[in-house]
Amino acid sequence: MDAITFLYMLLQSLIHYLQSVGDVWDEETHWRMELRAKRLDRKRIQLEWEVEQLALRQRGEAWGDLLWFALQPWQVWAVVGVLVLLLGLYFFWRKRNHEAENSNEEDEEDHVLGNDLRWLLERIQWPVQDLQAGCEWAIHLMDNYTIYFGHILSNSFYPVLQHAIGVGSAFEGWSPREQDVVYRVLIPMTPPRGHSFHLELDSAGHRHVRNFRVRVQLECTCTSERQAETVLCFLHHPEEELRSNQDPSLLHTLCTDSYLDVHKTARWFYQLVRAVWPALPQSHSWHLKLLPSRRSCQFQVTDGTESFRIEVLFGVRRGDSDVFVSSQTREARTLSTTWPETYDVAEVKFFKYIAQQAPPDTLHLRCLQLFSRVQLGFGFSNYMVKTIIMHLLNTIPMSQWRRRYFLRRLGDINVNLRRCLEEKCLNHFVIGNRNLPQEISLPLDILSAEPPNLIHHLARDLASHSQAMSEYQDLQHQTLVSPF
Ligand SMILES: [Zn+2]
C-alpha cells in the first residue's frame, strides 16, 4: 500500500507543477512547453497504469494469503487425502489394465501351447486297445476262474487261490506296448488247512534285491472242531492212514525242501487253467492259447477280431500289507524257491489314488506313455521312468498335471532323468518312502528301510555310467523333449 501512495503523490505533484508555471511563460516558448506537457502526460498515463498493475498484484497476493488463512490444517489434510485417493485409483486402474494385458498374453500362450500339445499328443502312441475295457474283461475272466478253482480245490491241500489283483502298466492306465498289451494279474495264495506259510528273507549275495523263500509248515488239526471229522492231522495221524485216506500235503506236491516252488506252482496252475477253461462261459466264443512261461502262467484269449494277453503271477501277501512276494523276477537265473518281493500292488494302488485326486484333463499318464515309448531301445528301463514320475506325482499337486502344464511336467521329468544319471542315484519309490498316501499299507521293515538306489550299478561301473550319459544325449537329440 505504501508504494501506491508514493506513486499517487508523485503524480499529483507533477500535475500541480505544470499548472503553476504555465501562466508566466511567453508565446514563443509555448509550443516547446506544450511538447513537454504531452511528454509528461504520456509519463502520467504510464505511471497510472503501473500504479494500477501494482494494486492488482498486491490484491492477488492478498487473496493467496486469505485462502491460506481460510484453509484450516484439517482441510489441508483432507485435500492431500483426496489427492492420495485419486493417485491410488489411478494406480489401481493401471494394475487392472496390466492384468488384463497379461491375461491376454496367457490366452495367447494357451493358444500356442494348444497347438504344440495337439502336435505332441498326436505323436504319443497310445495303445490300440481300450485299456480300461481290457482290464475289466481280464478281471472278469479271472473272477470266473477263481469261482471254479474254489470248487475244485475245496478238499485238496493245494494253495487257496484268492481273487486276482490287476497290476502292472495296463491296470495303472498306460502301456509301453502299442499292440499286444499284457494284462498282468497277481493271484494271492493262502495256505490250505493243516499248513502255514512262513516268509524268510533270503538276500544273500543280492544286497539290492529283496528275495524271500516261502517255507511251508504242517500244522496240527487235531483240535480243529470242523475239520477234525473229515481231515486227518498230518502231524499226528499214522503215515499209513494218511497215505490211504487222504491226499498228500502241500509239502509233497508243490514244494522243494519244505519251500514253495515257483516252477511247480506255475505248472500246476497251467494245468488248472486248461482244465477249467471248457467250463467257463467265455469258452463258447473265445479261443484259449496257453503260452510258455516258467515263473508265471501266460495265455492269450482270442475271438477272431479281439485278443487279450494275460499273465498270471502268484504271490503271498506280507501280513495284511500291500507288499507281496511273487513269482515274478527280472533276473534270468533265479532259484525255483526264490520269491522276490514285489511292490506292484502298492504301486497300482498309488495310481488309483492319484486318479481319484486328478482333475479330468490331467495328463500324467500321457507323460508316462510318452517317456516309456521314447525310452525303448535306449537302455533305460520303463521302471526307472515310472519311478521318476511317481516321485513327481507324489510331490507336485495334481492340479499342476492338467493339460496346460503338460510341457512343464515333461520338462520336470527330463530334468529329473538327467539329475538321476548325473548323481547316479534314483531312490526306490515304495521302500523307505514315508510320504506315501495313507491308503497304501507297508510292512514296518519296508517303511523304516533305507530307500535302495535303483541305478546303483552306474555308481560302481564307470563304463555303464558313461554309456548311460551318452544314451541320454542321444535321447535328447532324437526325441522331442530336447527343447525343454
Ligand atoms: Zn494234530
Distance in Å, CA 257 to ligand 1 centroid: 22
Domain end among 25, 55, 70:
70
For residues 328 and 266, the answer to whether their CB atoms sit within 8 Å is no
Q: Could you tell me if 324 and 394 lie in one domain?
A: no
Q: Which residues surround ligand 1, an ion (CB under 5 A)?
A: 220, 222, 233, 235-236
What DSSP string describes 352-413? HHHHHHS-TTB-HHHHHHHHHHHHTTTT--HHHHHHHHHHHHHHS-GGGGBGGGHHHHHHHH
Q: Is the dihedral of CA 77, 81, 87, 88 positive or negative?
A: positive
CA distances from 149 to 153, 261, 288, 444, 472 (A): 6, 20, 17, 33, 48
Distance in Å, CA 253 to ligand 1 centroid: 20
Q: How far is CA 256 from the centre of its chain?
A: 45
Distance in Å, CA 62 to ligand 1 centroid: 123
Q: Could you tell me if 182 and 319 lie in one domain?
A: yes
Distance in Å, CA 224 to ligand 1 centroid: 9
Distance in Å, CA 200 to ligand 1 centroid: 25
For residues 194 and 221, the answer to whether their CB atoms sit within 8 Å is yes
Distance in Å, CA 159 to ligand 1 centroid: 20
Residue 108 domain-assigned?
A: no
Distance in Å, CA 220 to ligand 1 centroid: 4
Residue 102 domain-assigned?
A: no
SS (H, E, C) 259-319: EECHHHHHHHHHHHHHHHHHHCHHHHCCEEEEECCCCCEEEEEECCCCEEEEEEEEEEECC
d(CA 150, CA 155): 9
Residue 334 domain-assigned?
A: yes
Domain end among 70, 99, 118:
70
Distance in Å, CA 214 to ligand 1 centroid: 22
Distance in Å, CA 197 to ligand 1 centroid: 17
User: 209: which 3 cell numbers?
Assistant: 534285491
Q: State the residue for C-alpha cell 505504501.
A: 2
Residue 90 domain-assigned?
A: no
User: 201: which 3 cell numbers?
Assistant: 528273507
Which of helix, strand or coil describes residue 64?
helix
What pTM was computed for the model?
A: 0.73
User: 165: which 3 cell numbers?
Assistant: 489283483
The residues with which 182 forms a beta bridge, in sequence order, are 309
Q: Could you tell me if 172 and 248 lie in one domain?
A: yes
Are β-strands 307-317 and 182-190 bridged in parallel, bridged antiparallel, or unpaired?
parallel
Q: Could you tell me if 398 and 301 lie in one domain?
A: no
pLDDT value, residue 12? 47
d(CA 470, CA 231): 64
Q: Please name the residues in contact with 158: beta carbons below 8 A apart, sequence gap of 6 or more.
A: 192, 250, 253, 254, 268
Distance in Å, CA 261 to ligand 1 centroid: 25
User: Rounded to 5 degrees, what are φ and ψ at 275?
Assistant: -70, -35
Mean pLDDT by 10 residues, the chain (484 residues): 44 41 47 64 64 55 45 52 59 59 50 61 68 95 96 93 96 84 96 96 73 95 69 92 92 96 96 96 95 94 92 96 90 86 96 93 87 63 91 94 89 90 92 95 94 86 82 70 43
Q: Could you tell me if 325 and 350 lie in one domain?
A: no
User: 329: which 3 cell numbers?
Assistant: 523276477
85 torsion bin: left (phi>0), alpha (psi -120 to 50), beta (else): alpha
Distance in Å, CA 223 to ligand 1 centroid: 7
Q: Could you tell me if 354 and 332 lie in one domain?
A: no
Distance in Å, CA 364 to ligand 1 centroid: 55
Q: Could you tell me if 176 and 274 lie in one domain?
A: yes
Q: Could you tell me if 320 and 175 lie in one domain?
A: yes
Distance in Å, CA 222 to ligand 1 centroid: 4
- Identify the domain containing residue 334 by its residue range: 127-342
Q: Could you tell me if 312 and 412 lie in one domain?
A: no
CATH number, position 400: 1.10.1410
Q: Could you tell me if 405 and 418 lie in one domain?
A: yes
Q: Could you tell me if 337 and 349 lie in one domain?
A: no
User: Rounded to 5 degrees, what are φ and ψ at 161?
Assistant: -95, 120
User: 33: which 3 cell numbers?
Assistant: 512547453
CATH number, position 251: 3.30.460.90
d(CA 469, CA 430): 26
Distance in Å, CA 316 to ligand 1 centroid: 25
For residues 48 and 11, the answer to whether their CB atoms sit within 8 Å is yes
pLDDT value, residue 323? 97
Distance in Å, CA 233 to ligand 1 centroid: 5
Distance in Å, CA 105 to ligand 1 centroid: 80
Residue 110 domain-assigned?
A: no
Rounded to whole angstroms, the maximal C-alpha distance in the chain is 182
Distance in Å, CA 235 to ligand 1 centroid: 5
| Domain count of the fold of the chain | 3
H/E stretch holding 61 reads: helix 30-70
Distance in Å, CA 226 to ligand 1 centroid: 14
Residue 133 domain-assigned?
A: yes
Q: Please name the residues in contact with 191: beta carbons below 8 A apart, sequence gap of 6 or more.
A: 159, 160, 197, 216, 250
